[in-house]
Amino acid sequence: MHFRSGFVNYSLSVALAMLAFGLWLRLGRLHRYRLRAALFVPISIVIWLCHAFGWGMLGLLAFSAEVVRAHDDGRSWWRAILRAVGQALSLAVPVVLMLAWREGSGGQTADWFNWTNKMFSLRTVLRDRWIGWDRLSFFFVVVVFGFAVIYPRLTLSRMLSFTALVLAVTFVCLPRIIFGSAYADMRLMPFVLAMALLAIRFRRDTDLRVGWVLASVALAFLLARTASVTWSLKLASDEYERQLTALDHLPVGAKVVTMVGLGCTKESSWPMWRNAHLGGMVVVRKLGFSNDHWDVEGAKLLTVTYAKAGAWRYDPSNLVVANRCPARWAKPIGYMMGAFPRDAFDYLWLINPPAYDPAQVAGMQKVWSLPDGSALYRIHPEGANPAP
C-alpha cells in the first residue's frame, strides 16, 4: 500500500524491519542474546534513518515476540513484559537521536481515535486503481484468514498472532498525525493483516494436500495482485509522461500554481492520487516554484520562503474538486481559481481538472493542453503587467 502511495522511504524501512525481525527471531531461538543486542544497535539506527516508523514497527515486533517467548519459558505475563522491554532496549538508541534532532515542538500530534479514518484505513488497505478488484482482493484476504481460524487442520502461531494483536492495538491507539506526519495509524494496518496471515500454521497431522492447495491459492493471488499493480503503475507512468510535456513550455525559474483535479464520487475518488504532486517537478526540472510543498515542523528538510504566495505555498492548495463537491481534502475549483494570488505566479497548470468557468482564465494565454482538459496558462501574457 505504502509503495503505491509513493512512501518509498517508509516502504524501505518496513521491508528492512521485516528482514531484521526474522534475524531477531532466529538469534532468539539460538539463545544468542548478547550477539543480537550488539547487532541490533546499528541495525535499528539504519532502519530509523530510512524512516522512523519502520524502526518503531521493528520495536513492536521484537517486543511482542519476546513477550511470548518469555511467557512460554514459564514466566508470568507481567514478568514476560518486563523481560521483553529489557531485550528491546538494544533498539532504543534512535530515541537519543530523535531528541537531538527534533526542532521546536517537533510538529503536531493530533486526531486521536478518529474511528471514521481508522475504518477507512482498513477498507482501503489494498487500494490502488480499480475499486471492484481492490475490494474483492481485500475480501479474499479476510476469507482466507477466517478459513484458517475455523478449519480444524490449521492453527495460528501464538507468537505471530500475538504480534498481529499488538500491532492492531497500536493501530487503534495511535493518532492520525504524529510529529506532523499524517496517516501514522493507517501505515500500520497492512502489516496487521500481513502478520495475521503469516501466523497461519498447519497442525502436525495435516494432510500435505491442504498445504499445496493453500500455497497455490496464495501464489495465484500474489501473481494476480502483482500483475494488476504493475499495469496500474504502467498507466500512471504513461500519464506522467503526457502531463510532464507541459514543462517543455516553462522557462527556468517559473513560478507555477498547480491545480490537480480529484474525483468526487466513491468510484472516481478511489484511484490513488498519483498526480497530486506533479507540480513539484517544476522545482526539480525548472528550478522554479510550485504550490505543493510540505512545511512540517520537526520533519522538514527545506523551508518555503516565498511569502508572496501566501496560503498557496503549501499542500493542499494544489488539490481541487468539482464545484459543490463535499470533499474533505480539497476545495472547489471555482473558488481556488478565483482566489489564488495571480501576482505571485507566472503560470497556472491544470492537471485533470473538473469542469470550470472559462471566464476564470480570461486574459491568460494557453500555451499547452491535453484532450483530458489539462492545460498550462501563462497568467501574464507578454505585454501585460501583473496586478500590483
32 grid coordinates: 544468542
pLDDT at 385 over 70: no
Q: Taking residues 257-276, what's their average pLDDT?
A: 87
One-letter amino acid for residue 177 of the chain? I
Count Cβ atoms below 10 Å from residue 242 Cβ, excluding itself.
Answer: 13
Give me the pLDDT at residue 176, please: 79
More confident residue, 106 or 326: 326
Count Cβ atoms below 10 Å from residue 218 Cβ, excluding itself.
Answer: 13
Write out pLDDT tens, residues 39-77. 999 999 999 988 888 898 899 899 998 998 888 888 888
- 262 with 301: CB under 8 angstroms? no
When pLDDT is cut at 50, 70 and 90, the band that residue 205 belongs to is low
Give me the pLDDT at residue 251, please: 94
Q: Taking residues 284-311, what's their average pLDDT?
A: 81
When pLDDT is cut at 50, 70 and 90, the band that residue 112 belongs to is confident
pLDDT at 247 over 80: yes
Write out pLDDT tens, residues 160-200. 888 888 888 888 888 877 766 677 778 888 888 888 998 88
One-letter amino acid for residue 384 of the chain? A
Average pLDDT, the chain: 86
When pLDDT is cut at 50, 70 and 90, the band that residue 383 belongs to is very low
Model confidence, pTM: 0.80
Percent of the chain at pLDDT > 90 equals 39
Give me the pLDDT at residue 320, please: 92
Element (H, E) at 156: strand 154-156
Element (H, E) at 347: strand 347-351
Q: How far apart, in whole angstroms, are the C-alpha atoms of residue 257 and residue 375? A: 12
When pLDDT is cut at 50, 70 and 90, the band that residue 388 belongs to is very low
Q: How far apart, in whole angstroms, are the C-alpha atoms of residue 174 and residue 76? A: 27
Q: Taking residues 140-159, what's their average pLDDT?
A: 87
Q: Taking residues 113-127, what's their average pLDDT?
A: 84
**181 has which bridge partners?**
178
When pLDDT is cut at 50, 70 and 90, the band that residue 297 belongs to is low
Q: How far apart, in whole angstroms, are the C-alpha atoms of residue 203 and residue 180? A: 46
Per-residue H/E/C for 313-336: HECCCCEEECCCCCCCCCEEHHHH
Q: What angle do CA 344, 347, 350 make, to 5 degrees?
A: 120
SS3 percent helix, strand, coil of the chain, rounded to 5, is 55, 10, 35
